[in-house]
């Protein structure tokens, strides 16, 4: 890989930070997403969290308590040789209700300490401004991104970060997996679908406000510093046709567009023709002003970041099994093995996805999530032999390197997801682990929180040391 390639790891505040009511932090959506059978309905915005049983357990509130362990965790990242670390800022730690005129100093201080700690080890911070995160007060007051008012709240938050961390940060990502809004609207964007509402109208209106907010944030970042690079973020994974039946091929193209829709706007600066036609066909009456269109046009992103866990597959004959995989409905692809959580494993699909994105946008890509969620067992001597994780990562790094070296795709860096074990977004479990670093904690939140190095820790350390040239 190029010599300045950013090898690192990724986490997000909502799944690792904890400290949910420490130092003036306000409540956020993650604080009301429970563990257990009701989780999915809440994440989808179908069940109002006010209606949850009193004794519900909310795993994100404490998570792995990165809030109090960040020094230890960053020291371990440094030991692996990380050149960058992607993490997110908790919006309600900075603006507890989202509406304050002045930010919460204690919140800013916390992230300043995190960034200083990273800089100490020459680890480049990659900051996600909003990772499945909205202050709960904004959900209550405005219905979250259903309301245009959120744009100015978000911009005040961005401006605070861009000014406060001036000179210490270079890479910013405006919204994590922006397309998740279509699948898990409450987790993705704090959106509940109320009775009688037109779901598509609600989702595309919220999407539009997020897209304008993202473009305005890009504009602001560029005004504040020439050095800032702003990216969008896509939950990626190409959609395959199950067969060469033209109907399957057409369906796969349509499914891909449901996700590309967001990046088409963020990278090219305007709504694609197919989306405008769809708005018409579905009779959506969206609040999109001429000024909004100008803002979108003038402020495309600098790079495209993405998560890749698996490819997807569609068939139109309505037969056969389905597969899971990051909540995107998919037909089961008979050529692929699946993880313990039923997510297909497809390294070549990674190369295909990277090429598809680069062909479409011709902007640098940044792989900010990839990895295998698996159950780990700790041996009597404390060791963790996670060879399955090493195998997954090795094959995916090989595919990424082929995309870069053989196909010419420009890739800025690679930050595998959950470099330290954390709470799973879709299931709320601790047992779905991605990390190189094990955290002693179970699904009910019990455990010491002690960190230890897995076999993959040493493997990844060697990968970074040899800049990807040695993957054994």
Classify residue 122 by burial, with Cβ atoms within 10 Å: 0-12, 13-18, 19+. Answer: exposed
Task: Name the H helices within 121-148.
Answer: 136-142
CB contact burial 49-73 (16+ within 10 A = b; e otherwise)? beebeeeeebbbbbbbbbbebbeeb
- Between CA 286 and CA 457 the distance in angstroms is 48
Residues 6+ apart with CB under 8 A from 289: none
Q: Which of 424, 451, 454, 459 binds ligand BGP (CB under 6 A)?
A: 424
459 part of the interface to ligand BGP, by CB under 6 A: no
Catalytic hit among 177, 210, 251, 429? 177
Span of 73-81, 199-207, 358-366, 423-431 interacting with ligand BGP by CB under 6 A:
423-431
Q: CB of 396: closest distance to ligand BGP in angstroms?
A: 14
181 part of the interface to ligand BGP, by CB under 6 A: no
Q: Which of 312, 340, 122 is nearest to 235 (CA)?
A: 312
Contact 215, 266 (CB under 8 A): yes
Q: CB of 287: closest distance to ligand BGP in angstroms?
A: 28
Catalytic hit among 17, 210, 369, 429? 369
Q: Residue 266 or 424: which CB sits closer to ligand BGP?
A: 424
Q: What number of chain residues touch ligand BGP (CB under 6 A)?
A: 15
326 part of the interface to ligand BGP, by CB under 6 A: yes
235 part of the interface to ligand BGP, by CB under 6 A: yes
305 part of the interface to ligand BGP, by CB under 6 A: no
Give, for 393, the enclosing helix (H) or strand (E). helix 387-405
Q: Residue 33 or 211: which CB sits closer to ligand BGP?
A: 33
Q: Which of 90, 92, 174, 176 binds ligand BGP (CB under 6 A)?
A: 176
Q: Residue 10 or 296: which CB sits closer to ligand BGP?
A: 10
| 347 CB neighbour count, 10 Å cutoff | 23
353 part of the interface to ligand BGP, by CB under 6 A: no
- Between CA 401 and CA 311 the distance in angstroms is 18
Q: CB of 427: closest distance to ligand BGP in angstroms?
A: 6
Q: CB of 446: closest distance to ligand BGP in angstroms?
A: 20
372 part of the interface to ligand BGP, by CB under 6 A: no
Q: Residue 317 or 444: which CB sits closer to ligand BGP?
A: 444
Q: Which of 373, 413, 435, 468 binds ligand BGP (CB under 6 A)?
A: 373
177 part of the interface to ligand BGP, by CB under 6 A: yes
Radius of gyration for the chain, computed over Cα atoms and rounded to the nearest angstrom: 21
Q: CB of 426: closest distance to ligand BGP in angstroms?
A: 3
369 is catalytic: yes
- Tell me how many degrees the CA angle 236-41-139 measures, rounded to the nearest 5: 85
CB contact burial 297-310 (16+ within 10 A = b; e otherwise)? eebbbbbbbbbbbb
Span of 35-43, 68-76, 419-427, 453-461 interacting with ligand BGP by CB under 6 A:
419-427
Is 214 strand, coil or helix? Answer: helix
Contact 144, 185 (CB under 8 A): no
Q: Residue 130 or 296: which CB sits closer to ligand BGP?
A: 130
Contact 160, 103 (CB under 8 A): yes
369 part of the interface to ligand BGP, by CB under 6 A: yes
Contact 167, 122 (CB under 8 A): no
339 part of the interface to ligand BGP, by CB under 6 A: no
Q: Which residue numbers are catalytic? A: 177, 369
Q: What residues make contact with ligand BGP under the rule CB under 6 A?
A: 12, 15, 176-177, 235, 307, 326, 369, 373, 417, 424-427, 432
């Amino acid at each position: 890989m190029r010599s300045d390639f950013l090898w690192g790891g990724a986490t997000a505040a909502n799944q690792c930070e904890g400290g949910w009511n420490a130092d003036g932090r306000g409540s956020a959506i993650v604080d009301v997403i429970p563990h257990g059978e009701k989780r999915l309905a809440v994440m989808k915005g179908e069940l109002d969290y006010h209606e949850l049983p009193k004794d519900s357990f909310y795993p994100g509130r404490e998570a792995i308590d990165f809030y109090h362990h960040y020094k230890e965790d960053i020291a371990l990242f440094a030991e692996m040789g990380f050149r960058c670390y992607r993490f997110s800022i908790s919006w309600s730690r900075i603006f507890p209700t989202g509406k304050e005129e002045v930010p919460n100093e204690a919140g800013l201080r916390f992230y300043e300490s995190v960034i200083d700690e990273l800089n100490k080890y020459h680890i480049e911070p990659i900051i996600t401004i909003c990772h499945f995160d909205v202050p709960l007060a904004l959900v209550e007051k405005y219905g979250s991104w259903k309301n245009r008012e959120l744009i100015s709240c978000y911009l005040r938050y961005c401006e605070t970060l861009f000014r406060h961390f001036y000179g210490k940060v270079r890479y910013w990502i405006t919204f994590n997996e922006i397309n998740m809004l279509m699948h898990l609207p409450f987790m993705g964007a704090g959106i509940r679908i109320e009775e009688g509402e037109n779901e598509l109208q609600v989702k595309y209106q919220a999407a539009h406000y997020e897209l304008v907010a993202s473009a305005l944030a890009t504009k602001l970042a560029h005004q504040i510093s020439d050095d800032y690079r702003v990216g969008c973020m896509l939950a990626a994974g190409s959609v395959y046709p199950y067969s060469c039946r033209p109907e399957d091929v057409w369906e796969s193209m349509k499914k891909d567009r449901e996700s590309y829709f967001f990046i088409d706007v963020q990278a090219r600066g305007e709504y694609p023709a197919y989306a405008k036609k769809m708005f018409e066909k579905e009779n959506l009456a969206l609040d999109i002003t001429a000024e909004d269109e100008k803002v979108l046009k003038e402020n495309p992103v600098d790079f495209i970041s993405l998560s890749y866990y698996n490819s997807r597959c569609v068939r139109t004959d309505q037969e056969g099994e389905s597969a899971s995989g990051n909540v995107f409905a998919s037909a089961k692809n008979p050529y692929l093995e699946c993880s313990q959580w039923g997510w297909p494993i497809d390294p070549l699909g990674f190369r295909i996805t990277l090429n598809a994105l680069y062909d479409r946008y011709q902007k640098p890509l940044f792989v900010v999530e990839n990895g295998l969620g698996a159950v780990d067992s700790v041996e009597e001597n404390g060791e963790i032999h996670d060879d399955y994780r090493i195998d997954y990562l090795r094959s995916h790094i090989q595919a990424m390197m082929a995309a870069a070296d053989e196909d010419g795709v420009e890739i800025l860096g690679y930050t595998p997801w959950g470099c330290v074990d954390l709470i799973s977004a879709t299931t709320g479990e601790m047992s779905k682990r991605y990390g190189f670093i094990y955290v002693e904690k179970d699904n009910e939140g019990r455990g010491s929180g002690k960190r230890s190095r897995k076999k993959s820790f040493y493997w990844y350390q060697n990968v970074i040391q040899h800049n990807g040239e040695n993957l054994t």
